[in-house]
Amino acid sequence: MPQATAKLNAFPVFMRVEGEAVAIVGGGEEALAKARLIGQSSAVLRIIADAAEAELLAFIAANGAIHIAAAYEAAHLEGAVMAFAASGNEALDRRVAEDARRMGIPVNAVDRPELCDFFTPALVNRAPVAIAIGTEGAGPVLAQMLRSRIDRMLSPSLGPLASLAASLRGTAERLLPKGNARRRFWSDFFGGAPARAMAAGQLSQAHDAAVDLLLSNAPASGHIALVGAGPGAEDLLTLRAHRLLMEADVIVHDALVPETIVAMGRRDAERLPVGKRK
């Protein structure tokens, strides 16, 4: 009998924060960590700290954050769309959380899950693509380990490719009928010539390939990638080799290549063993 999937106590969402104020109360390492995380967004950072440490002050100066150099007051939270209690002082963090909740502002208290309305994820940033990993505050180290693995798997070109897709979405909707034609175009876009050109740093060629694909409304031509298996240990493959295996529709492999390497491809990929078996 299949095991029932556990219910999430915290539901993951992406909140719009462009131009909105995010308040962080604290002047030490905890506040700096939250500032660095939120600083990856287009929110307006408001940091309340009467005695901010040098590293936090440097971050504020480098990132154009607002620094309120005064003892915390509830009024400092006004207008914020979210707040962080990150002072390291238990009494102050509880006060910030209570003030924020009374004002209807979602609040996160560092290392105090019982005071949190939300939890901050470990973030893989390929803006506008973002992957957030959360453990409901139960295992921050696990979340960071997963973030590191996923970050290594994703090409740095993913963000620019997604931005190019966004610029073409309206045109695709006008030219292609909803359904198979449109799905095929986007599948070929993200897995075909536009993606390969973007991965090579060729932005204009990626755009041209996308336009050609859009106008032709035909399946993209296939391509062959040669992946060396090295000594046969899956953890010694390059990151690009791993990505190519995961993208392949057909994997033609030497019969002596270990199954652990072949299994790194998609489960629905066709596998064709060739060559000697001894």
Any idea which residues carry the catalytic annotation? 254, 276
CB neighbours of 216 closer than 8 A, spacing ≥ 6? none
Q: What is the dihedral of CA 244, 246, 252, 255, to 10 degrees?
A: 110
Looking up tokens 């409304």 gives 217
Is the CB of residue 21 less than 8 Å from the CB of residue 44? yes
CB neighbours of 225 closer than 8 A, spacing ≥ 6? 244, 248
Of 108, 92, 103, 97, the C-alpha closest to 33 is 108
Is the CB of residue 105 less than 8 Å from the CB of residue 80? yes
Question: Would you give the DSSP letter of residue 120?
Answer: P
Between CA 31 and CA 49 the distance in angstroms is 9
Helices (H) then strands (E): counts for the chain: 10, 9
Give me 62's structure tokens: 């480098």
